[in-house]
Structure 1
Amino acid sequence: MEWLERMNNVLDYIEQNIDGEISYKEIAKIACTSEYHFPRMFSSISGISLSEYIRRRRLTIAAFEIQKSNVLIIDIAAKYGYDSVDSFTRAFKKIHGLTPSAARKQGVELKAFPKISFHISIKGDTEMEYRIENIDFELRIIGKSKPVKTARAFKTIPTLWNGAKKDGFMQELIDLSWENPKCSLEGLLGVCGKEASITDDEFAYFMGVRYDSEPPNDMEILTLPPSTWAVFPNIVEAWKRLYTEWVPTSGYELANLPCIECYYGPKRKPRHELWVPIVSP
């Protein structure tokens, strides 16, 4: 499967550059996917973030080098991307439970995180409902962005909406929405990543609505070009299965745009949907 080969090529690239510069743009290029989507795709499939995987691999190989050579700790730290011995020591101790200098002693226990590889896992016992939507005009979304730690996104995002309900921001968005409906994407919108970036530790979650008039002074404007979207009911379930089940088998490529969580009004079924930008094959 071509998709599987691409993902394993990414792992090969990381290994080949583990003691040098690893270009996240090059990673996205090798995977033939967008910088928006690769971090979440990688963590969904592997169970670990891209940056944490690279960090663990570097510290694993650094530990081997410390034990097998007399190279100065400061030189090993620099080789694996650390600006100082102190920062290297903190990271090393977090992974291995002891300092780099202590790792040179015989008989100490260290942790080795091997290179991972991706294989096909047969799933699909439960169907995934979806539809394709084409929005042929520019999407103009107004609202506010909040930083979200990727590892805590499923817990943080509901908290953000609860806070918006309490402080009146949600009602303000509701009052602005549906004034001039133009498409199916009418509701409270959570745009997952205002800026295109492969940095996977944190992203900007943009809470807003589609709106064509002048926004209130305290709101930002996010504009997305005309695009084609794959739309899935049930946001949480869709996120869990999107990158591991739908993308590898669909034949679609992901566009270099953020996904959008759409929360509809009362009595609308489904109550919420995940909109995923795609490039038609």
Structure 2
Amino acid sequence: MDGWNDAMAAIDDRLEAEIDVAELARIARTSEYHFRRMFSTLAGLPLSEYIRRRRLTVAAAAVLAGRETLSDIAARFGYGSGDAFARAFAAVHGVGPEEARRTGAALRSQSRLSFHLTVEGSSPMEYRITPLPAFRIVGRSTRVPLVFEGPNAEIERFTRELGEDVRARIAALGESADEGMPAGTLSVSDEFDESRAEGSMLRYTIGAATRAEASPPADLDGIEVGAGDWLVLSTEGRVPEALQQLWPLAYGEWLPANPYRLVPGPEILAVEPIGDGSTARAQLWLPVEPEPVA
């Protein structure tokens, strides 16, 4: 994780200037796409929000020191006006800079992040890397908010409104598991907001994976997926808790420990209910590529 910690140091070195995320990714020895996605998941907040909090933590020390005017501090930290600085300062600290300087109010501090590998469990994780040719997801799509834990009410509503007949027709279009593709009725997520913050919007599709050359039926949506490698993580357990834990396993354990990085593409969840449906077997498919050799 040395490269990631070097990137955190680089952020602190550049708080008074424009921060180039592509440069941070080069310092961390990965792609910008992978850096943004991994940061949001591991840190629990978007990269842009972390930079804003760190910048205003350091700016707060200058405000309290009282050696500079507030307008000079605002300009030093890249704010175009005193009003813009005051709004940003209040959003982080709960009070404006003038009040903070005048009253000595309690302020909030964002510590500099550091990344460390820790031992999370003694059991090996079941996974495979599967190369796939280009294929298509065929189904119905909607926009839903991102929910990290517990049921997603918008997904549940969308599934009910779709109806059993349509879901069965979608499932019939899919390839079998013997073809090596994600099988059955799939939950597909893509077009995430860059922040990947809880509550941000994404495209959610109930669909099936098919190699068919023909266009999808007129009343269904199609998502074209390019050829490449896929990380496939498997689990079995209670719904939705066991399913939602696949993402922390992928981002927090597998990716930091293996020489692969994420690439743009849909995230595919294949679920096989067990018994009454309170438990299930599931596979999470994530598009990846090998990290380049240094």
Name the residue aligned to 2:239. Answer: none
TM-score (norm 1): 0.80
Name the residue aligned to 1:30. Answer: 27
TM-score (norm 2): 0.77
**Distance in 2 between residues matched to 1:256 and 1:263, nearest whole Å:** 22
Aligned counterpart in structure 2 of residue 250 of structure 1, from 258, 272, 276: 258
Q: Deviations over 1:49-99 (max 9, x none)?
A: 322211210110111122224544344335435455444333322322221
Name the residue aligned to 1:207. Answer: 205
Q: Deviations over 1:190-211 (max 9, x none)?
A: 333337x744343523313224
Matched, 1:61 2:58: yes
Name the residue aligned to 1:160. Answer: 154
CA contact (8 A) 1:264 1:271 kept: yes
Q: Which amino acid aligns with 1:233?
A: S
Once the two structures are TM-superposed, the CA of residue 109 in structure 1 deviates from its matched residue by 2.5
Matched, 1:241 2:239: no
CA contact (8 A) 2:174 2:184 kept: no
The farther-off stretch of 44-53 and 268-277 is 268-277
**Distance in 1 between residues matched to 2:158 and 2:165, nearest whole Å:** 8
Aligned counterpart in structure 2 of residue 260 of structure 1, from 265, 268, 288: 268
| Distance 1:27-1:133 versus aligned 2 partners, 3 A rule | same
| Distance 1:11-1:218 versus aligned 2 partners, 3 A rule | farther
The farther-off stretch of 113-122 and 165-174 is 165-174
Matched, 1:226 2:236: no
The farther-off stretch of 59-68 and 255-264 is 255-264
1:101 is paired with a residue whose SS is helix
Query: What does 1:64-103 align with in structure 2 at a 5 Å threshold?
Result: 64-103=61-100
**Distance in 2 between residues matched to 1:21 and 1:189, nearest whole Å:** 41
Aligned counterpart in structure 1 of residue 188 of structure 2, from 178, 187, 191: 191
Q: Deviations over 1:147-175 (max 9, x none)?
A: 534xx34457x323311222126752441
CA contact (8 A) 2:75 2:81 kept: yes
Q: Which amino acid aligns with 2:202?
A: A
Provide the aligned length of Structure 1 versus Structure 2. Answer: 273
**Distance in 2 between residues matched to 1:58 and 1:138, nearest whole Å:** 43
Once the two structures are TM-superposed, the CA of residue 254 in structure 1 deviates from its matched residue by 2.9
CA contact (8 A) 1:188 1:207 kept: no
Identity between Structure 1 and Structure 2 (%): 30
Q: RCO higher in 1 or 2 (8 Å CA, sep ≥ 6)?
A: 1
Q: Which amino acid aligns with 2:135?
A: L
Q: Which amino acid aligns with 1:223?
A: E
Where does the alignment leave 5 or more consecutive residues of structure 2 unmatched?
A: 236-242
Q: Deviations over 1:15-43 (max 9, x none)?
A: 12212222333333333444444334223
**Distance in 2 between residues matched to 1:258 and 1:270, nearest whole Å:** 22
Where does the alignment leave 5 or more consecutive residues of structure 1 unmatched?
A: none
Query: What does 1:97-116 align with in structure 2 at a 5 Å threshold?
Result: 97-105=94-102, 107-116=104-113
RMSD (Å) for aligned C-alpha atoms: 3.1
Name the residue aligned to 1:139. Answer: 135
Name the residue aligned to 1:15. Answer: 12
**Distance in 2 between residues matched to 1:133 and 1:79, nearest whole Å:** 50
Q: Which amino acid aligns with 2:160?
A: K
CA contact (8 A) 2:174 2:183 kept: no
CA contact (8 A) 1:230 1:275 kept: yes
| Distance 1:93-1:43 versus aligned 2 partners, 3 A rule | same
| Distance 1:119-1:280 versus aligned 2 partners, 3 A rule | closer
**Distance in 2 between residues matched to 1:21 and 1:44, nearest whole Å:** 23
